[in-house]
Amino acid sequence: MTAKIIDGKAFAADVRGRVAAHVSKLKSEHNIIPGLAVVLVGEDPASQVYVRSKGKMTTEVGMHSYEHKLDAETDEATLLALIDNLNNDPQVHGILVQLPLPNHLNEDLVINSIDPAKDVDGFHISNVGLLATGQKSMVPCTPLGCLMMLRQHHGSLSGLNAVVVGRSNIVGKPMAQLLLGESCTVTIAHSRTKDIEALCRRADILVAAVGRPEMINADWIKPGATVVDVGINRIDAPEKGDGKTRLVGDVDFSSAVEVAGAITPVPGGVGPMTIACLLANTLTACCRSNGVAETSDLTV
Ligand code: NAP
């Protein structure tokens, strides 16, 4: 059996297209333009790349993009004052503070200072609680993207066995909550889980969010299962030449594709969906704050 490849790149382009259409309608019918503010502290090269591409895609869908770049030594009071300004700025509907922050800044304090209604990353403790209790919330972008792809592939997920490998606050835990919300039977595995291979082999849906290159191979996968690979790992690729690298997921794609029923590739799977869902969340936040009907297919 060869798995169907779930094309996250194409799906993300479709999501961005739907967001753009809705943004244009908001503008023509209500004279509202959604705005996303991204705050970057320091010069982490990967974060700079993410912030640049977030800004580009934000303007491409017709939203306003506001970038705030602060130097690495910025103190907590200055950062909190900026967030307070953004919380009170009616042009800003979404606020994202790029993580990780430099060590001297308290990440929890900073995230929890964002107005929960503008917390498009869905990391504020209020949004975590709302999601856990099945109420309307801002949903973290990466798990939201995974859920959209799973819904499109399966239709109903009700009654399926789901195993999420990884229990981080940004991926594993919210992913498990979302799958529970879809009436899956959910197990969360992590570094202390016993006999993890056998556990994963029982999953109809297997989500890998570990950060270990190609850890999960065909032996871990139930024939026909849907595998969602969140991992992004850069490894050496001597076959491409000296010093070259390539991106791989947490799943050994070449063996998994022979057993799974469907699988997301890396790159081109979950990754592109994350920014698309950030735009979808900004649109959702804008609709909610203006009392305009939100698009149900762009959120949960
Ligand atoms: P994280 O915070 O480091 O969490 C990793 C999780 O994996 C932890 O819960 C850890 O368990 C578990 N784990 C580590 N080694 C394990 C093992 N041998 N067996 C079972 N579980 C193990 O990572 P994260 O932020 O969730 O990210 C996970 C991966 O997703 C990374 O590759 C990251 O780059 C990628 N990512 C991708 C996107 C995207 O847009 N596609 C977004 C976010 C993250 P313990 O809790 O027991 O330590």
With a 6 Å cutoff on the Cβ, whether 271 touches ligand 1 is yes
Strands annotated E in the chain: 4-5, 35-41, 64-70, 94-97, 161-165, 185-189, 205-208, 226-229, 233-236, 245-248, 262-263
pLDDT confidence bin for 226, thresholds 50/70/90: very high
With a 6 Å cutoff on the Cβ, whether 166 touches ligand 1 is yes
Element housing 152 (H / E):
helix 141-154
Residue to mutate (ligand 1; options 232, 235, 277; most atoms within 8 A of CB): 232
pLDDT confidence bin for 10, thresholds 50/70/90: very high
Query: Using an 8 Å Cβ cutoff, are 248 and 230 in contact?
Result: no
Convert the pLDDT of each residue in 26-55 to its tens digit: 999 999 999 999 999 999 999 999 999 999
Cα 147 to ligand 1 centroid, rounded to whole Å = 17
pLDDT at 92 > cutoff 90: yes
Phi, psi of 252, deg, nearest 5: -75, 95
Q: How far apart are CA 297 and CA 17, in angstroms?
A: 13
pLDDT attached to residue 25:
97
Cα 92 to ligand 1 centroid, rounded to whole Å = 31
Q: Mean pLDDT, to the nearest integer, of 74-95?
A: 98
Cα 209 to ligand 1 centroid, rounded to whole Å = 4
Q: Mean pLDDT, to the nearest integer, of 76-95?
A: 98
Residue minimizing CA distance to atom 34 of ligand 1: 232
pTM above threshold 0.85: yes
pLDDT at 184 > cutoff 80: yes
Residue to mutate (ligand 1; options 141, 210, 250; most atoms within 8 A of CB): 210
pLDDT at 1 > cutoff 80: no
Cα 167 to ligand 1 centroid, rounded to whole Å = 7
pLDDT attached to residue 88:
98
CA distances from 11 to 14, 173, 268 (A): 5, 24, 10
Cβ-based burial of 10 (10 A; exposed 0-12, middle 13-18, buried ≥19) = exposed
Radius of gyration of the chain (CA): 19
Convert the pLDDT of each residue in 151-183 to its tens digit: 999 999 999 999 999 999 999 999 999 999 999
pLDDT attached to residue 200:
98
